[in-house]
Amino acid sequence: MLTDTAIRKAKPTDKPRRLFDGGGLYLEIVPAGGKWWRLKYRFGGKEKRLALGTYPDTGLVDARMRRDDARKLLAAGVDPSEQRKAEKVERIKAAEIAADTFEKVARDWMARQDVAEITKLKNQWILETFLFPEIGALPIGAITPRVLLDALRKIEDAGKLDTATRAKVKAGQVFRWAILEGNAEADPTASLRGALKPPKVKHHAAITDPMKVGELLRAIEGFTGQPVTLAALKLAPLVFVRPGELRHAEWSEFDLDGAIWRIPGERMKMKAPHIVPLSSQAVAVLRELHLLTGSGRYVFPGIRTASRPMSENTVNAALRRLGYGKDEMTGHGFRSMAASRLNEMGWNADAIERQLAHAESNKVREAYTHAAQYLDERKRMMQGWADYLDALRAGGAVVPFKRKAG
C-alpha cells in the first residue's frame, strides 16, 4: 500500500516506473517528473487502463475514491472508460445547449422568416421588448413551462392581455423551430393552454353612419396640416388598404394611366400580391401628390427624411387633430367603413373580401394565384364607392348607391 510520504519521496528515473497501491491502482512516474494515477482493470476479457488524475492535484485519498467508483461501475457491468467518454459527450452537448440561448435561437428564427416587413417588425418588438429581458439569456432547452409562464404573467400583470397572448404564440414558434434545429426537446407553450387571461376583443374604431361619414370627409377637406398627410387622409377611404400598406406605398407600384395599384406580395399580410383598382378620384389625389413626392421612392415619405415612409402614427394623429378620438375613428377604420357600407349596399361579399385582401386559410393558395379575382366588379365597385363618398361629402345622397349589373 502506498503512503503520501512514499509518493512525495519517489523520484523519476530514466524509465517510467510504477508504484502500486492495490485494487489495480498505481502511480506512474515518468522521466520528465510527472506523476500519473492509473487504474488497471479487465473488461470484456481485455486489459485496459483508466487515467485518474495527476499528483499532487489528485492526492492518494482522492485517487482511491476514484478507483472505488470505477470498480463499482465494473461490478455493475459498465466499462468506466466508456462511461467517461459518454459523460464527456454529455458535457459537450450541455455546453452547446447552454450556448443556444432563447435570444440567439429567436434571432435565428426571425432571420429565416419570409414575412411582410410590418410583421417582421412586430415579431422583433414583442421578442425584444417582452421576452428577451426575461428569458433571452437562458439556454432554450432549459426553459420550463413555469419559467415561461412567469415571463408571460409579467406582461399580463401590466394589463397587456393581448400582448401576453401574442408573446406566447411567438415563443411557441421559436421553441418549435428550436426543436427542428435540435436546440430543444419540447415546446413549453404546449403546457400553458388556458394559463393566461383571454385578451379583450378589440375592434378598430370606425364611422359607418352615412351622415357621419360625410362629416368626416368634410373635416378632412378642411385639414390644414402637412400636404402629404392630407393626401393620405383623402386616399385612405378610396382604397381601404391596411395602414401599413398605405404608408409604405411606392410610386413604382402605380399605373396612374391604367388606374391600378399593384402591391407586391412581400408587403402584404398574406404574402400574396394585391391589386387595387383606382377610382378617378383616387387617381386625381395621386397625380396632385406626384408633383410633391414623385421624384422619390415613397408616395408618402416621412417629414424628416424621404428615405423612409411616413410614421405609422401620422394618419391617426391627423384624425385626432380633426377632433376624432381613438374610440371614434382610426386609420384602419376606413377599411371597416367601406366593408360595412358595401355589404349593406348588396355588393358581392367575395369581391369585397378580395378588395380588402382577406383570405381564409383554405383560400390562401387561391389568393396567391388570383390577385385579379373579381377585378372587373371591383373596378365598378371602387368607382361607385368614390362617387358615393363625393355625394356624402357634398351633404347629400345618403341613400346607398346601387350596385350596377354586369
Q: Scanning the structure block, which residue is given the C-alpha cell 463499482?
A: 72
Which of 35, 332, 341, 378 is flagged as catalytic?
Answer: 332
Reply yes or no on whether 335 is catalytic. Answer: yes
Which of 66, 170, 242, 248 is flagged as catalytic?
Answer: 242
User: How far apart are the C-alpha atoms of 177 and 105, rounded to whole Å?
Assistant: 8
Q: What one-letter code names the amino acid at 26?
A: Y
Sign, CA torsion 345/346/349/355: negative
Which of 335, 341, 378, 393 is flagged as catalytic?
Answer: 335
Q: Which three cell numbers stand for residue 189?
A: 407553450
Reply yes or no on whether 368 is catalytic. Answer: yes
Find out whether the peptide bond into 301 is cis, omega within 30 degrees of 0.
no
Reply yes or no on whether 358 is catalytic. Answer: yes
Asked if residues 220 and 233 have their Cβ atoms less than 8 Å apart, the reply is yes
Phi, psi of 265 (to 5 degrees): -60, -35
Phi, psi of 127 (to 5 degrees): -70, -45
Q: What one-letter code names the amino acid at 17?
A: R
Where do the H-state alpha helices sit in 100-190? Answer: 102-112, 117-126, 132-135, 145-157, 161-181
Q: How far is residue 8 from each of residues 2, 3, 269, measured CA to CA in Å? A: 11, 9, 76
Q: Scanning the structure block, which residue is given the C-alpha cell 388556458?
A: 194
Which of 262, 358, 363, 379 is flagged as catalytic?
Answer: 358
Q: How far is residue 37 from each of residues 9, 24, 71, measured CA to CA in Å? A: 16, 11, 15
User: How far apart are the C-alpha atoms of 22 and 25, rounded to whole Å?
Assistant: 5
3-state secondary structure of 295: coil
Which of 71, 107, 363, 368 is flagged as catalytic?
Answer: 368
List CB contacts of 263: < 8 A, sequence separation 6 or more.
241, 245, 249, 253, 273, 274, 275, 276
Q: Which three cell numbers stand for residue 61?
A: 485519498
Reply yes or no on whether 248 is catalytic. Answer: no
User: How far apart are the C-alpha atoms of 166 and 151, rounded to whole Å?
Assistant: 13
Catalytic residues: 242, 269, 332, 335, 358, 368
